[in-house]
Structure 1
Amino acid sequence: MSGFDKDWLALREPADMAARDPALVEQLARALTTSSPQLLDIGCGTGSTYRTLRPKLPEPTRWTLLDYDPTLIAEARRRIGSENGVTFCQLDLNQLDDLPLEGIDCITASALFDLCSAAFCDRFTARVAGENVGLYAALNYDGVMTWTVPHALDAEVVRDFNTHQQGDKGLGPALGPSATSYLKDALTKEDYTVLVADSPWILESDAGELQAELLRGIANAVLEVGNLPPEAVSVWLAFRRDAVAQEGSSCRIGHTDLLAMPSLNAR
C-alpha cells in the first residue's frame, strides 16, 4: 500500500477539519470512559486526525499513530514533536494480525476506508470486534460531487471518477462510495452501536488551490477509466478551473463519518 504526498495532505487538512461532523466527535469524547484512553490512528499520514481531535478529547489521551509510509511518519514526528502520550508505528495495513491493539479503546482513521476492499473490511471488523475496540472512521467519500456552476459533463465525470475509486489502492478492490454503509452493516452484525453523519467538503473560491489540485486528480482518474474522450475531459477541466473564481461558485464533495462502539455487555 502506497502513501499520499505530504503536500496534498497539508492542502486538504483545513477542509477536513471543517468538514468533520462535530456531534460525532462529541459522541466519541463521551464514549472514551477510561481514565486514560488509548487511541490508535491508522493511516495517520502527517497526523491530521491527531491534531484535529486532541483538543476535543479527554485528557490524558494516549495516541499511537500508524502508517505504512516512513516519509509520512517522519513528517508526523516533525510536526507533533515530543508531545507526551504519542508514539509512532510503521505497519502495512494488510498485516491486520499485527495491529497493536492491546489496551486500545478506539481506532481512528480519516479518508481511509473508501480505499479498502470488502475483504479487508471483513478482516478488520473481525479483528477489532475480537478485541472490543471502537472505531471512528471519518471523511470517507460518498460518491456525490456537485458544483453551483454546472457543466453538461458533470454527471459523467462523477460516474467515471466513482468507477476509478473502486480500483485497487493497495488493500484490494476498493469499496469507494459504499465503504461507510458496508462498515456500518458489518459492525452492526458484531453488536456494535453505529452512528453515521455527513461530513462534506464545501469549497469556496478561497480554497482555490485545493480545488485546482482536486480537479486535476479527478480529471486524471477519469482519463484512466477511459470512457470519455481526452479532449472532452480537457474542456471540462478548463471550465471547472475557470469557474472556481466566479462569484458564488462552490463545490460540495460528499463524505461521511462513522462512530462504532462495542456494546457494554461485550466490554
Structure 2
Amino acid sequence: MGFTADWLSLREPADLAARNADLLARAAACVPADAVVLDLGSGTGSTARAFAAMGHDALRWRFLDNDATLLAVARQTHPGAECVQGDLGAVEDLPLQGVGLVTASALLDLMPLPWVAALAGRLRAAAIPFYGALSYDGHMGWTPAHGEDAAVTARFNAHQRGNKGIGAALGPDSGAQSARVFAAEGFEVTLADSPWVIGPDQAALHAALLEGIAAAATEAGHATADVWLAARRASVAQSQAEIGHSDLLALPPS
C-alpha cells in the first residue's frame, strides 16, 4: 500500500483541484474547537494542506501512517501536527482520543470491505464523523480516445481489486460500498464526484499515471498494455485524461 513522496507531491495539485469543496467545508465544520483531526494514511500531510488551502487552517492534526519516511516529511512540513506511526489495518488501535473528525484521502479504494465495516462501527460508537476523499471509482477516459482504452481500464480495475496487504481491496467499488456500510451504521452519508482532469499542462503527472496504469493492467493479464502505453505516452502533450474519483462524508447519528 506504499507510495513515494515524489508521487504524492506530483499528484497533490490534481487532488486539490478534484476535491469536492462543499464536502470538505462540511467536514471542517464538524470539528469542535478543542478537537483534533485524525488523518489515516496521511502520507506527507496533503489532506491537511488541502483543508488549509480552502481556508480551514486553524485545525489541529494527528497524522497516522505506517511509513516512517513519509511521516518524517510530514513532521517537517507540519511541525504542529502529531505524527503517529502505526498499522492502518488495526482499526481497534486507531488513536481516537480527542478526535473530532477522521479523514482519509486515496485510501478507501486500497482497503477491504471488512476494514471499512470495522471503521464505520468504531466511529459510530465514538460518534465521530468521517471524510474519505479521492477514492478511485473505476472510470477512466482520454481525449482523443484509443482503441485499447476500455480494455486497459478493465484490467486496471481488476488489479485494483487485488490484495493490497490486508485482504481484497474494494478498488473502484470503494465509494459506493463505503457509503452503504456507513449508512447501515446510521450515518448520514453524502457521496460526490471528484474526478481528476489532467490536461497537457500536467504532462509529468499524466506520464507517471500512464506508467502505473499500464504496469497494473499488464500484471492483471493485458498482453498489449505496453503498446497502449507507447501510443498514449507519445500524445501526452496533446491529450486530456479524466480519472474518476469520489468523496464521501459520513455524519454520525445524533
Q: Which bracket does the TM-score occupy, shorter chain normalised?
A: over 0.9
Aligned partner of 1:24 in structure 2 is: 23
| 1:177-216 equivalent positions in 2, closer than 5 A | 177-216=172-211
Offset at residue 245 of structure 1 (A):
1.4
Give the corresponding residue for 2:248.
Answer: 258
1:35, distance to aligned residue in structure 2 (A):
2.6
Q: How far apart are the structure 2 equivalents of 1:57 and 1:191?
A: 30
- Per the TM alignment, residue 26 of structure 1 is displaced from its structure 2 partner at its CA by 1.7
Aligned to 1:89: 84
* 1:27-176 mapped onto 2 (5 Å cutoff): 27-32=26-31, 34-56=32-54, 60-80=58-78, 82-83=79-80, 86-176=81-171
Deviations 1:74-119 (A, max 9, x none): 1111222x23xx1110111122111011121110100000000011
Q: What's the secondary structure of 1:105's corresponding residue?
A: strand
Aligned-pair CA distance for 1:134 = 0.8
Q: Does structure 1 retain, via aligned residues, the 8 Å contact 2:28–2:51? A: no
**3-state DSSP class of the match of 2:99?**
coil
- The aligned residue for residue 227 of structure 2 is 235
The answer to whether the 8 A contact 2:190-2:248 is kept is: yes
Rounded Cα–Cα distance in structure 2 between residues aligned with 1:160 and 1:105: 39
Sort the Cα spacing of 1:217 and 1:30 in 2 relative to 1 into closer, same or farther, 3 A: same
Bigger shift: residues 21-30 or 107-116 = 21-30
Whole-Å Cα distance in 2 between the matches of residues 225 and 258 of structure 1?
28
Find the aligned partners of 2:55 and 2:169 in 1 and give their Cα distance: 31
How big is the alpha-carbon RMSD for the aligned residues of Structure 1 and Structure 2? Answer: 1.3
Q: Max radius of gyration: which structure?
A: 1
Query: 1:59 & 1:243 partners in 2: Cα distance?
Result: 39
Letter of the aligned partner of 1:5 in structure 2?
T
> Is 1:245 aligned with 2:243?
no
Matched to 1:256, the amino acid is S
Q: Aligned partners of 1:233, 1:59: CA distance in 2, in Å?
A: 43
Structure 1 range deviating more: 164-173 or 138-147: 164-173
TM-superposed deviation, 1:55:
4.6
- 1:252 aligned counterpart, secondary structure: strand
Q: Give the aligned residue type for 2:17.
A: A
Counterparts of 2:154 and 2:253, CA distance in 1: 38
Question: By how many angstroms is 1:180 displaced?
Answer: 1.1
User: What is the Cα deviation at residue 236 of structure 1?
Assistant: 0.7
Q: What is the aligned length?
A: 254
Q: Percent identity?
A: 44
CA distance in 1: counterparts of 2:33 and 2:135, whole angstroms = 30
Q: Give the 3 Å change call, closer, same or farther, for CA 59–147 of structure 1 in structure 2.
A: closer
When the two structures are superposed, what TM-score results if normalisation uses the length of structure 2? 0.96
Structure 1 contact 41–65 (Cα < 8 Å) conserved: yes
Alpha-carbon distance in structure 1 between the residues aligned to 2:252 and 2:3: 31
- What is the identity, as a one-letter code, of the residue corresponding to 2:171? G
